[in-house]
Amino acid sequence: MQQSGAASARGCALVPLLAVLFCQGAHVALSLEIKVDAHVRGYVGEKIKLRCTFKSTASVSDKLTIDWTYRPPSSSRTESIFHYQSFQYPTTAGTFRDRISWAGDVYKGDASISIRSPTLKDNGTFSCAVKNPPDVHHNIPMTELTITERGFGTMLSSVALLSILVFIPSALVVILLLVRMARKSAGLKKRSKSSYKKSSIEVSDDTDQEEEHDCMARLCVRCADCLESDYEETY
């Protein structure tokens, strides 16, 4: 009797322990996994995207909620800037008014947002919180946003990249075309010169004609001398 009583006592003691273990297992199974970029860099006036992705063990439903908050540098004050539950609810007040837009897709596990026309005052920490009941337990990751002015060095690097991708290939094509045209022109000149070279017959004909001209000239000179001599004898 004493042994059975002790066994039943031990069994009763195990029930709360099993219940705790079961609850912990359920807690782990129903947890959400959320990921964001730890550091994001942007430029003044250029639209920027804050990425946030999540994985849930439960199917996405109308109960899913997404909340983005902002905390300025060196401050503990947080500001709600975006809320989602079936519809998008960007903030209608504060520094981010009319500048937050939805850039995600909950059915693909994407809870990203975009900031239009960022300024230096937008620097700070952004948090992405997602709840998809019964998955509600999760970490709340944070993104540090740094907005800077786009300097001359960045612009110069952009121009250099554009030159490499566009102008240099175009210049190479033009150079190749010019070389090809020059070679073609040189070949035509050689052909034209070779076609105008005189044959040996034509050269002999030209020399014969020159000799005939010389003979005629000498005959004319002799005739003129004879006429002059006859004229002098008559007188």
Does residue 188 sit in the same domain as residue 87? Answer: no
134-148 residue pLDDT tens:
998 778 999 999 999
Dig out the tokens for 17 from the structure: 């322990």
Does residue 73 sit in the same domain as residue 171? Answer: no
185 within some domain: yes
Q: Percent of the chain scored above 70 by pLDDT?
A: 61
Q: From 34, 76, 84, 24, select the one nearest 55 (Cα to Cα).
A: 34
Mean pLDDT across the chain:
76
Does residue 119 sit in the same domain as residue 168? Answer: no
Give 15's pLDDT tier (boundaries 50, 70, 90).
Answer: very low
**Number of separate domains in the chain:** 2
Q: Cα 23 from chain centroid?
A: 49
Does residue 137 sit in the same domain as residue 115? Answer: yes
Give 130's pLDDT tier (boundaries 50, 70, 90).
Answer: very high
Q: What is the SS3 assignment for 126?
A: strand
Q: From 114, 120, 95, select the one nearest 43 (Cα to Cα).
A: 120
Among the ranges given (73-77, 118-122, 155-159), the one the predictor scored with the smallest mean pLDDT: 155-159
Element (H, E) at 118: none
Distance set, CA 49 to CA 23, 29, 37, 103 (Å): 38, 31, 10, 8
Domain end, chosen from 118, 150, 182, is at 150
Does residue 86 sit in the same domain as residue 64? Answer: yes
Does residue 90 sit in the same domain as residue 158? Answer: no
Q: Cα 66 from chain centroid?
A: 31
Does residue 159 sit in the same domain as residue 146? Answer: no
146 within some domain: yes
Element (H, E) at 70: strand 65-71
Does residue 104 sit in the same domain as residue 74? Answer: yes
Rounded to an integer, the average pLDDT of 208-217 is 57
Rounded to an integer, the average pLDDT of 215-224 is 58
Indicate which CATH number applies to the domain containing 90: 2.60.40.10
Does residue 34 sit in the same domain as residue 70? Answer: yes
Does residue 60 sit in the same domain as residue 130? Answer: yes
Does residue 106 sit in the same domain as residue 156? Answer: no
Q: What is the SS3 assignment for 63?
A: coil
Q: What is the pLDDT at residue 11?
A: 47
226 within some domain: no
Does residue 63 sit in the same domain as residue 102? Answer: yes
For residue 121, pLDDT over 70 is answered with: yes
Owning domain of residue 83: 29-150
Rounded to an integer, the average pLDDT of 65-79 is 94
56 within some domain: yes
pTM: 0.55
Rounded to an integer, the average pLDDT of 75-90 is 95
50 within some domain: yes
